[in-house]
Amino acid sequence: MFKLKTVFASALTAAVLVIGTSAALAGDTQDKMETTMATADIIDTAVGAGQFNTLAKALTAAGLIDTLKGPGPFTVFAPTDAAFAKIPAAQLDALLADKAALTKVLTYHVVSGKIDAANVKTGQVKTVQGQSLNVTAAATGVTVNNANVVKTDVMASNGIIHVIDSVLMPN
């Protein structure tokens, strides 16, 4: 009986060691993934997320890919595909066909510098486009103009992305 208990205890100890080592390795892998993701620039990070296809198409049409792959740092309020879907199709098609108007809209989503969620304050923030965004930080969340920030602090090598649920339109 003593031998059976010893064998059982040894087996249990081995199982705990294997599970603990696997969990530690999984944690290391997750840390490496997050580090790897932070080495990607804003464009590659957004494309990799899979929910910014329309934004990527718009940035390409406007000729802004190289700019947002540049050194930055930038803070980008990135509308999702669902945010672009709120724009009537004919209006979105017209915007995508007008490079000057599209550039104005897209640069209105970009702020120079890296502003993480911990440093967001209520007030005006000037965009690369030249006009300011109205940021409201409240206990219920953050809004930029009338868009809700639905995810914050998506890190990139040249800045940070905050995901929003509407496309911001300059005056």
Q: Are 81 and 52 in contact (CB under 8 A)?
A: yes
Whole-number pLDDT of residue 43:
94
Q: Say whether domain 40-164 belongs to CATH 2.30.180.10.
A: yes
**Hey, where are the domains in the chain?**
1-39, 40-164
pTM as predicted: 0.77
Q: Are 64 and 72 in contact (CB under 8 A)?
A: no
Its sign, for the CA torsion 149, 57, 50, 24, is negative
Whole-number pLDDT of residue 18:
33
Those residues of the chain that have pLDDT short of 50 are: 1-37
Whole-number pLDDT of residue 168:
98
pLDDT digits (tens, 9 = 90+) for 45-76: 999 999 999 999 999 999 999 999 999 999 99
